[in-house]
Structure 1
Amino acid sequence: MDLLSTLGGGTGVIAIAAVSAYRKSRRAQRAAAPAPAGGVRTINNADYNFPPGNEIDTTRAAAADPEVGAVRAAALAGDWQTAAAYLDAAGSDWDLRWYRLGVLADVASEDDTFVKAWQAALPNDPSAALVHADALVALAGKLRGAKGAQHTTREQFDAFHRVLAESEAACRRAAELAPADPSPYIAQISIAMGLGWSHERFQALWAEIVSRAPFHFGAHRSALQYWCAKWRGSHELMHEFARQAAASAPPGDLLVALPLFAVFEQEYKDDNYEEVYRLPATAAAVDAAWRAVVKAPAGHHRLPEVRHMLAYALEAVGRYAEAVQQFQLIGPFCGAVPWTYYNERLRVFGSCRARSAVGWEDAGRPPVPQV
């Protein structure tokens, strides 16, 4: 029996024998199907309004934004005016500007022709300088690769550090051209992680960011990585950072979900999801995130990434009715954290979704609580 098609596609027949080889660690259990009495449990995706596994897009968190596709195509064709209009239309919504910057920086890290044309036409344009700076950060990450240090060559590290140093100078230039914009400082968070900035130096950078945008979701998500144990911090520092951010956020703001991302970082690092999702603080974080997601505007640009993390956490804490609801709203996509941390993201997504359905069914299909 093919486990991938079993968990994700068609009716979703789940067999204990097929998953036993994967139960080698708690982390592996996130990729394993539930193990009901009798050995086999049949889950019909259509009964729960779940798209079948062969329709799941593993590259995106949500349906493609037509505007993003058009902007990417224009930038790749060298049309810097369309790129400039797209970025500047975000105005002073700094988190939306940062989100859109990521789209353009990703394109520029592949082909920066449009950025060079933009800078040639408008040498002191702050948006052009910003895209150039963040594209260098993105390029540095691509040059290093996503594998652990033990699987990264000296040549990759040398290129990574060289381009990061270049991007730091470019960020300073962008900041000079747009003093009120937090984006050039946020771009430096990745530089701080890659070059090993001290806590004191990072805190000075963070002060520059929050003085301009105290509730910036993208900045907080990036800074959480700096403070986590795998980079420059620890579990304690990471959780404290996330708690303070959530406590200071305006009521209902999606930033209140940041502690869930910290919980997942600890779970993944320590391979201890059973323990970490039983903590009272985790239960409170899940509840706060769920309430924020339920009340968030449907088209909010950060909603899909928070919804994916919330669905994962809801299943882990046994809130199956809410988990099923979130998986229904997620639809045919699993290209987001937490699924992207796993080599077999579709397997983990499919099994988590199936466990939500089984748990909800076994509880008698209770209704989703009202906010």
Structure 2
Amino acid sequence: MGVLNPAQATAAQRVAGEPSTAPASLARYTVVEDTESWSTVLYGDRDFAKLGEFVNSSLQRERTDELSSAYLNRLYNNLANLPAHSDRTYTEADEQQLAESLAVVDKWIAKFPNSHIPYVVRGNLHFKHGWQIRGNSIAARVPNDAWPPFLQSMELAKADLEKAAALNPNDPNVWSSLLNVARGLSLPESVWQGYYERGIAANPYHIDIWGTKSVLLEAKWQGDEARLLQLAQECDRLAKAANKPLLGLVPIGIYRGVAKVHEGFLTQPGVWGEMEASYSRIFAAYPDNLRARFYYTYDASLAQRADRAAEQFEIIGDRWTNSNPWPSLKTYHEARATTLQMLSTDAYNQADYLQAEHLALKSLDLLPMASTYLMLAGIQGQHYRDMPRAVEYAQQALTVNPSPEERLYAEEIIARAEAYMKP
């Protein structure tokens, strides 16, 4: 029988694009809640006292408990979430949702006029609403009629956040939100640097203060790459000196952003080594931090470190949580399966056929892909000389939307195997 090279299958799969994920494949996941229940407390129960008490209690631990600080920042962000659309098209439904959310927060302000918290939430609502209208395109591609309502939303957000700052300047989330507004309004650095300094005074280790400044230092806003990388090093040194491992996520995020401009940036040994060291410190301190493990899988995938990604995929298992870098559960699931497939190919190329088969079967358990079936067909035919099994796997490959290259390869396997089996 002629040589069957499973590497041909994975190459063809990459040509074909992403595999097709059936909804049933995603049913295996259990959603681990993050801050979502607080939206129900606010917009459903309208228990303003309960929410305010929790936020104020969290602020007591702002400097000492970085897990609590990060959670509170995500909580603020989640309370201002508006419906998202895959096509990112702004609709009347978004306007209605905003009106309903603002009506609730207005009642919160009326009941607790001296609390800064509802002003932060309302300011963030206006901010996100404005960006929904504007869209995420570069300025030159934003429709002219989108600018007035966008800028109006930014000004409304700024007014609410300045009110929040006057009521409680010690909440760093106020200043990180103002940094976001400064970006939307293209305020000069002399202004937003003041926001940054006030935020750092409130909490020198606040992830979002550092992270939002890093966005402002991107070249497309008001900075340049040299200053951005300098900030990454400064933040990394502080994370180590202060023993604040989660702060290490900021330089990791900066490197991830630079990699969008410079292909292969994350694969540089020095860069990836620093990122791995940061993740090691995080998991040494917080081994159960699920969100950080999702970030690690994402970054390892970008850095083409399938081995590291697979380790984290295995630890995470069939769990999912929101507020992670993967665009969707579907994308995450496909990356998980494809990573195992890549490692299977590596094992095959190293003549470790048992490991190649093991990893391919694990990949298939997650997501049937033609290329994975062809890998198994090659192993059965070339290594085990089990032609009936080789034919079976090749036939299965033909049932899962193969690319033209994969179809040809499967038919070739079947023809060769059947010819081999003839007396």
The answer for the alignment partner of 2:40 in structure 1 is 73
RMSD: 3.4
The answer for the alignment partner of 1:105 in structure 2 is 80
Residue identity matched to 2:155 = A
Bigger-Rg structure (1/2):
2
CA distance in 1, matches of 2:334, 2:168: 43
Q: 1:212 to 1:111 in 2, by over 3 A?
A: same
CA distance in 1, matches of 2:345, 2:234: 33
Alignment of 1:141-156 (within 5 A): 141-156=131-146
The answer for the alignment partner of 2:255 in structure 1 is 263
1:339 aligns with 2:311: no
CA distance in 2, matches of 1:218, 1:17: 42
Residue identity matched to 1:276 = F
CA contact (8 A) 2:33 2:322 kept: no
Give the secondary structure class of the aligned counterpart of 1:111: helix
Aligned length: 315
For structure 1, which runs of at least 5 residues remain unmatched after alignment?
1-12, 23-30, 33-50, 366-371
Give the secondary structure class of the aligned counterpart of 1:215: coil
Alignment of 1:191-270 (within 5 A): 191-249=181-239, 250-251=242-243, 253-270=245-262
Q: Which has the bigger relative contact order, CA under 8 A and spacing at least 6?
A: 1
Residue identity matched to 1:102 = N
1:120 aligns with 2:114: no
Give the secondary structure class of the aligned counterpart of 2:243: coil
Q: 1:356 to 1:152 in 2, by over 3 A?
A: same
Q: 1:254 to 1:159 in 2, by over 3 A?
A: same
Q: 1:128 to 1:338 in 2, by over 3 A?
A: closer
Q: 1:231 to 1:90 in 2, by over 3 A?
A: same
Higher helix share: 2
CA contact (8 A) 1:80 1:115 kept: no
CA contact (8 A) 1:252 1:291 kept: no
The answer for the alignment partner of 1:90 in structure 2 is 58
CA contact (8 A) 1:320 1:359 kept: no
Shift of residue 216, structure 1, vs aligned partner? 0.7
CA distance in 1, matches of 2:275, 2:28: 25
CA contact (8 A) 1:264 1:338 kept: no
CA distance in 1, matches of 2:106, 2:154: 19
CA contact (8 A) 2:175 2:209 kept: no
Give the secondary structure class of the aligned counterpart of 2:81: helix
CA distance in 1, matches of 2:24, 2:246: 29
CA contact (8 A) 2:114 2:167 kept: yes
Shift of residue 14, structure 1, vs aligned partner? 6.2
Residue identity matched to 2:320 = F
Residue identity matched to 2:113 = P
Shift of residue 317, structure 1, vs aligned partner? 4.5
The answer for the alignment partner of 1:16 in structure 2 is 11
Question: Can you list the C-alpha shifts for 1:43-76, whole angstroms capped at 9, x where unaligned?
Answer: xxxxxxxx9953487xx9x6224xx443212322
Shift of residue 156, structure 1, vs aligned partner? 2.1
The answer for the alignment partner of 1:167 in structure 2 is 157
1:324 aligns with 2:313: no
Shift of residue 265, structure 1, vs aligned partner? 0.8
Give the secondary structure class of the aligned counterpart of 1:339: coil
CA distance in 1, matches of 2:118, 2:234: 34
Relative to structure 2, which stretch is displaced further, 114-123 or 320-329? 320-329
Relative to structure 2, which stretch is displaced further, 356-365 or 143-152? 356-365
TM-score after normalising by structure 1? 0.72
Q: 1:360 to 1:289 in 2, by over 3 A?
A: farther
Residue identity matched to 2:300 = L
CA distance in 1, matches of 2:157, 2:128: 9
Question: Can you list the C-alpha shifts for 1:149-169, whole angstroms capped at 9, x where unaligned?
Answer: 455322222211111112112
Q: 1:286 to 1:53 in 2, by over 3 A?
A: farther
The answer for the alignment partner of 2:269 in structure 1 is 280
CA distance in 1, matches of 2:209, 2:28: 29
Shift of residue 356, structure 1, vs aligned partner? 6.2
Question: Can you list the C-alpha shifts for 1:174-207, whole angstroms capped at 9, x where unaligned?
Answer: 1111122222111111112111122333222211
